[in-house]
Structure 1
């Protein structure tokens, strides 16, 4: 893995969504390494086995089999060497309950899966270009939900 490249992780059980995400992220032209996982358990096994380089950003779908995104988020936030990781919830759900619960449990941003490829690419680009140090220090509900 290139040490200068940003390490991004996506956990999403929908294969089409993973492929679209991968294509969109490639179009951003940002130098990065993308790791893909098809469920929350696979993601947590990877994170807990202690990869040599932890990801700078995790895109996490909420509705996954075996271990869902909310369970992963809670586990990440309660694990000492993972709790600093930036977590972007990436979900089709636009329910106020889901948004509120992920905010309370420490997600850094909530992104509704866009309904077009260009909006997806723009959303990913915006998230990758965020100043996460600033964003996480001034986190509030107004900047939590990413609207594209």
Structure 2
């Protein structure tokens, strides 16, 4: 077992969703450090600080005030220091337009927010266990939308 800690960030304006996500992470047997952000601008301000440890994976809600997930994704992909970060869109939206747009804008995976806690824990655990190098090198529309 590796001593490596998985650095994860979640940007979501819904306080209940942040709390449940945090609880799910706590119950998973993967060593993680979770940073929570209330909206996209807060996340982007953090990511552009000098000398921070960049997250291994960012979960981005699409519908947030101030700066939404789509805007964050575009900013991340256009920033040379951030462009290779793994980004999981984490949204209640199952709109084809949202899925298509985030795929084209360079997200690594699209996860629909589950409607119960045990499914949430299962989804988060599976996403954290993905072999990201393999997943991103074989990315297509079928592997992009994560279903459980």
Does residue 133 in structure 1 map to residue 138 in structure 2? no
Q: Which residue of 1 aligns with 2:124?
A: 124
Partner secondary structure for residue 58 of structure 1: strand
Please report how far the alpha carbon of residue 90 of structure 1 lies from its aligned counterpart in structure 2 after TM superposition: 0.1
- Which aligned runs of 4 or more in structure 1 are off by greater than 4 angstroms? none
2: distance between equivalents of 1:87 and 1:23?
20
Q: How far off is 1:49 after superposition?
A: 1.1
Structure 1 residue 29: deviation in Å? 1.7
Q: CA deviation at 1:20?
A: 0.3
Tell me the SS of whatever aligns to 1:63: coil
Equivalent residue number for residue 49 of structure 2: 49
2:6 and 2:95 mapped to 1: Cα distance? 31
**1:28, 1:96 → 2: CA distance?**
30
Residue in 1 aligned with 2:89?
Answer: 89
Once the two structures are TM-superposed, the CA of residue 119 in structure 1 deviates from its matched residue by 0.5
Aligned length: 146
Q: Deviations over 1:14-71 (max 9, x none)?
A: 0000000000111112101000000000000000113431000000000000000000
Does 2:40 correspond to 1:40?
A: yes
**Cα RMSD (Å) of the superposition?**
0.9
Alignment of 1:13-28 (within 5 A): 13-28=13-28
Residue of structure 2 in register with 1:100 after alignment: 100
Match of 1:113 in 2: 113
Structure 2 residue 81 is the aligned partner of structure 1 residue 77: no
CA gap of 1:29–1:51, structure 2 versus 1, over 3 A, is: farther
TM-score by length of 2: 0.97
Give the unaligned 5+ runs of structure 1. none
- Unaligned 5+ segments in structure 2 are none
Q: How does 1:4-15 map to 2 (within 5 A)?
A: 4-15=4-15
CA distance in 2, matches of 1:31, 1:47: 21
